[in-house]
């Protein structure tokens, strides 16, 4: 059994648009149109999954953009995630859990980087195995994708081994310098032949 450790990240500051006044009302409107207009009113790119559909029933209004988004999402079975640039909206039924291979990273490093970049969201979870490089992520597809892309970008550069120590390559140019570190096999063979010839001459009467 693999034990997982959860990371209790401090709540990130709400997006800048979240507390902005929002003096718009939605009444019996296609939900995709309502979300598209929401993004247009705030100057936010909005990406809707194919599963987002239906009509807004009743009246949706709020004092702030954040409250409006929460009410609209709650009334229509939607989940939203803001990655710092784009507002992603998907259906609640698309909320999933994925197990990701962290490669040579530790889960805490990934969680810390998510917080540092403002990508973490306390509504969704990111857990790592205590004894391995496995990360379990729960959230909407956009959040899962962000974590996966971050894990890929954070991988350390592979260590190159087995290079010839006698060769130094000057980066940024085409010059290659061969550095002598002692007699090569060819040099050694030539030296052995020369020594044998000397001994043969010395042995002649």
Helix (H, G, I), strand (E, B), or coil: what is residue 128? strand
Tell me which of 58 and 133 has the higher pLDDT.
58
| Model pLDDT for residues 91-106, shown as the tens digit of each residue | 999 999 999 988 888 8
Q: What is the rounded distance in angstroms from the CA atom of residue 90 to the CA atom of residue 53?
A: 10
- Give me the mean pLDDT over the 77-85 stretch: 97
CATH code linked to domain 25-91: 3.55.50.30
The mean pLDDT value of the chain amounts to: 82
For the chain, the structural domain boundaries read 25-91, 95-181
- DSSP E strands: which ranges in the chain? 4-6, 25-30, 46-48, 55-61, 78-82, 87-91, 96-101, 125-129, 134-139, 167-169, 176-178
Confidence category of residue 107, pLDDT binned at 50, 70, 90: confident
Which secondary-structure segment (H or E) carries 114?
helix 107-116
pLDDT exceeding 90 applies to what percent of the chain?
56
CB 130 within 8 A of CB 4: yes
Pairing status of strand 176-178 against strand 167-169:
antiparallel
Judge if 25-91 and 95-181 fold alike in CATH terms.
no
| Third-level CATH fold of 95-181 | Ribosomal Protein S8; Chain: A, domain 1 (3.30.1370)
| Model pLDDT for residues 124-133, shown as the tens digit of each residue | 999 887 766 7
């Amino acid at each position: 059994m693999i034990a997982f450790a959860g990371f209790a990240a401090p709540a990130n500051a709400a997006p800048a648009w979240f507390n902005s006044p929002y003096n718009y009302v939605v009444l019996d409107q296609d939900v995709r149109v309502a979300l598209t207009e929401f993004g247009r009113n705030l100057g936010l790119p909005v990406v809707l999954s194919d599963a987002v559909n239906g009509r807004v029933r009743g009246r949706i209004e709020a004092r702030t953009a954040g409250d409006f988004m929460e009410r609209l999402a709650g009334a229509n079975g939607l989940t939203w995630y803001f990655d710092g640039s784009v507002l992603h909206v998907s259906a609640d039924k698309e909320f999933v859990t994925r197990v990701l291979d962290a490669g040579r990273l530790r889960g805490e490093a990934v969680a810390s980087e998510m917080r540092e970049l403002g990508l973490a969201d306390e509504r969704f979870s990111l857990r790592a195995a205590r004894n391995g490089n496995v990360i379990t992520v729960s959230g909407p597809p956009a959040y899962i994708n962000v974590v996966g892309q971050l894990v890929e970008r954070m991988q350390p550069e592979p260590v190159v081994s087995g290079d010839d120590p006698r060769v130094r390559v000057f980066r940024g140019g085409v010059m290659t310098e061969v550095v002598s570190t002692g007699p090569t096999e060819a040099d050694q063979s030539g030296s052995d032949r020369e020594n044998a010839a000397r001994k043969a001459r010395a042995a002649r009467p």
